[in-house]
Amino acid sequence: MSRHHRLASAAAVLCLAGLSTSAIADNGEVNVYTYRETKLVQPLFAAFTKETGIKVNVVSASSGLEQRMKAEGANSPADVLLTVDIGRIDEAVQAGVTQPIKSEVIDKIVPAQYRDPDGQWAGISMRARVIYASKDRVKQDSITYEELADPKWKGKICIRSGQHIYNNALFAAYVAKHGEAKAEEWLRGVKANLAQKPSGGDRETARDVAAGKCDLGIGNTYYWALMMNGDPDKKPWAEATRVILPTFADGGTHVNLSGVLLAKHAPNKANGIKLIEWLAGEQAQQMYADINYEYPVRSGVTLNPTIAGYGQLKADPMPIAKIARSRKAASTLVDKVGFDN
Amino acid sequence: MTAGPNTSPVATTISLLAALIVAAPVVSIGILALQPAPDVWPHLVAYVLPQALRDTALLLAGVAVVTLLLGAGTAWLISLYDFPGRRLLLWLMPLPLAIPTYIGAYVYVDLFEPLGLAHRALMLWLPTQDAVALLPNLRSLPGAVALIGVVLYPYVYLSVRATLQYQSAEFIEAARTLGAGKWHVFWRISLPMARPALALGLALVCLETLNDIGASEYLGVRTLTVAVFTTWLNRGSLPGAAQTSCLMLAIVIVLVAIERYGRRNASVEFSSESPRLLQRRPLTGLKGALSFAACFSPMLFGFIVPLLFLINQSVKRGLLSDAGAPLLRDAFNSVGFASLATLLALSLGFAVVFAHRWRPTALRAVTMTIAQAGYALPGLVLAIGLLIPVLAIDNGLNTLAAWLNQPPPGLIIVGSGGAVILAYVIRFLAVPTGLIRAGAERIPRDYDDCARAAGAGHMTAMRRIHLPLLRPAMMGAVIVVFVDCLKELPATLLLRPLNVETLATSIYQYASRGSFEEGALAALLIVAASIGPVAWLTRFSDLPNGPA
């Protein structure tokens, strides 16, 4: 009895799933594989559909999408891949599942530093990796990444795992700037300054600073804004801290990209390019700034007030592609110095 | 040994098929691992493995001890004694299964870290910093042991309870007549007789712990699984990650071997001479209250506290008013996928175990072992391994269609959600196989021989004898597999079709942004979907003097 029920409901699921895929060949659609959470990109896609009449189909995952595209091969339904980090961008390009985005619009809007010279990917929004400093205990208003290894911060820094993609990208930028030997020395210095074993996420880092476990936390710009504006429980964590935009001694603040790539076998290539160009357009860029608390790649877009309150972002000029190539060295160094131990 | 007439080509075929399905992703990971990854191993050996192996071993040992104490202890109390509130506990005890490990970790870190509820309560009496000093450090190895243990104990509870149901009265009554106390009976009779089930439950706990990535990473415990993902994602070496996975597989084979050792000689302990089952002894007064508290506490921490947290977040954030058709559709998808996978896994598990029981050949023993290998791979590694064979079939069908001048069918298995169901079956087939096998080993082979002597075929004997006797084992298997499927995240994320969300993937949409509380309602629906089968099935689990 109940088995029949279950069978029936399972069959219905399959039918539903079948319905959603059977229309793939239609011209009025674009299929997006995304590392960005659906809930975050859904408002953007809804606006895109409203404006263009092109339906957006989505599947989101945390890792492995390029492996799926590779296995799907020429029959892959994917048109566009969205990522949250330069690491994932790099992986997709390495896996050979992309094709150049040939678009004058993108070349014009996105600064050269934030797109691939060969056109394999383009950055669409940015976040900076910054300091959450205790309001009570930290007096200085500026700080360099290099300074984080200074013994004066001994026992005063909190950070999540050194292997997390955000830290991996920051450390890779350090390697790209100063070379492996210097980076190793720096990582050992930062490790010696940690108040506790790396764990938790960027929100917990802010919480630890607020609770007095440490004076400096390292986190992304939008987490702080989300705590400040989104969640009454977490607001005190943000309120006990302030954001300092750190810089490299001879450069600017480390930024990471959410990027967009065009699938090699995109069945709806024209719609895919339309979506990519739309994401770099004014409306989408404004939504990235307002809803997601990110920095737009397009100039002339008004920042969210909380983000603007951090001060003028002076992004480091190091090309993102060069940082991506140092990720492996950074990951290796983290293990070598026992950063997470 | 029962060398019956070979009337089971069907069983052989099905069990071979089961082994083939499970082997497919394992083999494709093996092939990936054959590619050279020259610079990976010197690094891993020098800097990662010593620490990862130590952390993994300590975590596994710690969680095993915690779940052994909580799971076996409560199963023993509930199976052998009657005390106030026992009937309520009967269906509450398995429910921590419905709380995904990473959610348990988030909830407790939120409650017990500085500025959390516990801290604010302490601050009523103490200055802030003194109160901080009193808080437990949950983001640590001991913290991970406690948090993972308290949600995973039901694996041990369910498998041990399935066995203790059929605790033969004579041994225990004999022991009691000889003046043995409760503890003596427990250590010398109940525990050794439950050993196969205990070993199985602990093996499941260890595999689940080994595969966990969310909770370990969050709590700062760097296990082998974390090393696999770092090798793949940060050092860009999928072959290196595949090789590390193979190392994990080797560890799992050792765990399975230990489990085998745990149930060695198990079948000789049971004869058909003692069908009379033990009556539960009443415990009243202080003893009854203590027994209730002992069972209630692990469930309180593993289930009620996370449940209240999720309810509170859902209400406070007004999630209920936003919920609508999409969430219901997600729930429908979850239950549909999980039901079909459970049914398939249970059937395959049965076929594999009984093919071996009816006619134990080396081939069937091997298929049974392979059928249990899927649990050994982390969900995401399994999904990567499954992509290759499944899409080879999908792409092959398209090529075939083109050759026949037919319109291309598209990617049928992945596009229909079939890949998700396959992944669930592969991942969790070890549960029904293990539980049914442990249960079947307690059924004396005399029964099979008698049935055959009476002219009953395999199917009749199965329907009239084995199925009824295996009911507790099957109940346990259905609960565990169904709930595990509802919770499964990494394989579901990677293998599901476009525009299909389940409850677990719906929670994930918020979790990676650090605000998993926004997914509290979806998490509650996972709990709700789990309560149904657990409550329904446990009604039948209380034999012989239960209501069934």
pLDDT tens over chain A, length 341 residues = 344 444 444 444 444 444 444 444 445 999 999 998 887 888 999 999 999 999 999 999 888 999 999 999 999 999 999 998 888 898 899 999 999 999 999 999 999 989 998 999 999 999 999 999 999 999 999 999 999 999 999 999 999 999 999 999 999 999 999 999 999 999 999 999 999 999 999 999 999 999 899 999 999 999 999 999 977 888 999 999 999 999 999 999 999 999 999 999 999 999 999 999 999 999 999 999 998 899 999 998 999 999 999 999 999 999 988 999 999 999 999 999 999 98
Residues A317, A292 share a domain? no
Give me the total of CB pairs closer than 8 Å, taking one residue from chain A and one from chain B: 215
pLDDT on residue B547: 32
Residues A326 and A195 in one domain: yes
In terms of DSSP bridges, do strands A216-220 and A157-158 run parallel, antiparallel, or are they unpaired?
Answer: parallel
- What pLDDT score was predicted for residue B268? 43
In a shared domain, residues A233 and A199: yes
* Distances, alpha carbon A128 to alpha carbons A18, A246, A296, B446, in Å: 41, 9, 12, 71
Instruction: Give the β-pairing of A29-34 and A55-60.
Output: parallel
- Please report which confidence band the pLDDT of residue B66 belongs to, taking 50, 70 and 90 as the band edges: very high
* φ and ψ at residue B508, rounded to 5 degrees: -60, -35
pLDDT per residue as tens digits for the range A179-202: 999 999 999 999 999 999 999 999
- Is residue A341 in a domain? no
Q: Are B143 and B58 in contact (CB under 8 A)?
A: no
Q: Are A69 and A263 in contact (CB under 8 A)?
A: yes
Residue A317 lies in a domain: yes
Looking at the predicted structure, is the pLDDT value of residue B282 above 80?
A: yes
pLDDT at position A78: 97
**Is B140 close to A12, i.e. CB distance below 8 A?**
no
Check A62 against B493: CB less than 8 A apart. yes
Cis peptide before B544 (omega within 30 of 0): yes
Average the pLDDT over B70-97 and give the result. Answer: 90
Across all residues in chain B, what is the average pLDDT?
Answer: 84
**Among the ranges A128-132, B47-51, B264-268, which has the highest mean pLDDT value?**
A128-132
Question: Which pLDDT score is estimated for A2?
Answer: 43
Instruction: Please report the sign of the dihedral spanned by the C-alpha atoms of residue A29, residue A34, residue A38, residue A40.
Output: negative
Alpha carbon of B174: minimum distance to chain A alpha carbons (Å)? 42
Judgement on whether residues A52 and A166 belong to the same structural domain of the protein: no
Q: Which CATH number do you get for residue A149? A: 3.40.190.10
Residues A113 and A249 in one domain: no
Let me know if residue A208 belongs to a domain.
yes
Do A23 and A88 lie in a common domain? yes
Q: Which residues of chain B have a CB within 8 Å of the CB of A327?
A: 234-236
Judged by CB atoms closer than 8 Å, whether chains meet at B515 and A90 is answered as no
Q: Which of A4, A84, A335 to mutate to test the interface with B (most CBs of B within 10 A)?
A: A335
- Interface contact B85, partner A, CB < 8 A: no
Q: What is the mean pLDDT of the segment spanning B244-273?
A: 69
Give the nearest partner residue to A64 out of B218, B383, B513, using CB atoms.
B383
pTM: 0.87
pLDDT at B207: 86
For B9-273+284-539, CATH number?
A: 1.10.3720.10
Backbone phi, then psi, for A285, in 5-degree steps?
-65, -35
Asked whether residue A8 is assigned to any structural domain, the reply reads yes
- List CB contacts (< 8 A) between A65 and chain B: 494
pLDDT tens per residue across span B496-545: 999 999 998 888 877 666 677 888 888 899 988 888 888 777 766 555 44
H/E stretch holding A52 reads helix A38-52
In the block, which residue shows the tokens 């719906």? B506
Q: What is the mean pLDDT of residues B125-137?
A: 82
Compare CB distances from B114 to A13, A168, A211 and report the shortest one's residue. Answer: A211
Give a yes or no: residue A146 inside a domain.
yes
Are A35 and A115 members of one domain? yes
For residue B476, give the amino acid letter: G
pLDDT for res A219: 97
Nearest residue, CB atoms, B234 vs list A22, A68, A331: A331
Cα–Cα dist A8/A1, whole Å: 11
The Cα A178–Cα A239 span in angstroms is 34
- Work out whether strand A241-244 and strand A121-134 pair parallel, antiparallel, or are unpaired: antiparallel
Query: How many angstroms separate the first and last alpha carbons of chain B?
Result: 33
- B43, B496, B514 member nearest A223 (Cβ): B514
Residues of chain A positioned with their CB less than 8 A from the CB of B512: 37, 62
The answer to whether residues A241 and A121 belong to one domain is no
Cβ atoms of residues A58 and A38 within 8 Å: yes
Task: Kindly state the tokens that stand for A246.
Answer: 């750190």
Residue type at A255?
Answer: V
Q: Cβ separation of A13 and B336 shorter than 8 Å?
A: yes
Query: Which of A146-160, B222-236, B466-480 is most confident?
Result: A146-160
Residue with tokens 């250590």: B187
Whole-number pLDDT of residue B269:
47
Domain range for A245: 128-254+312-336
- pLDDT value, residue A279: 96
Q: Are residue A180 and residue A319 in the same domain, yes or no?
A: yes
pLDDT at B427: 92
pLDDT of residue B91: 82
Distance, in Å, from the CA atom of B169 to the CA atom of B542, rounded to the nearest integer, reads: 16
Judged against a pLDDT cut of 90, whether residue B342 lies above it is answered with yes
Q: Is B414 on the interface with A (CB under 8 A)?
A: yes
Q: Do A327 and A211 share a structural domain?
A: yes
What pLDDT score was predicted for residue B451?
84
**Which residues of chain A neighbour B529 with C-beta distances below 8 Å?**
none
Share of residues in chain B with pLDDT > 90 (%): 34
Shared-domain flag, residues A282 and A318: no
CA-to-CA separations, B518 to A49, A83, A236, A272, B524, in angstroms, rounded:
26, 22, 18, 31, 11
From the list A14, A94, A163, the residue facing B234 with the nearest CB is A163
What is the number of domains present in chain A? 2
Given an 8 Å threshold on Cβ–Cβ distance, is B514 in contact with A201? yes
Q: Which is nearest to B197 in space by CA: B267, B258, B262, B152?
A: B262
Predicted confidence band at B167 (pLDDT cuts at 50, 70, 90)?
A: low
Distance CA A233, CA A210 (A): 13
- One domain, residues A133 and A250: yes
Does any CB of chain A come closer than 8 Å to the CB of residue B277?
Answer: no
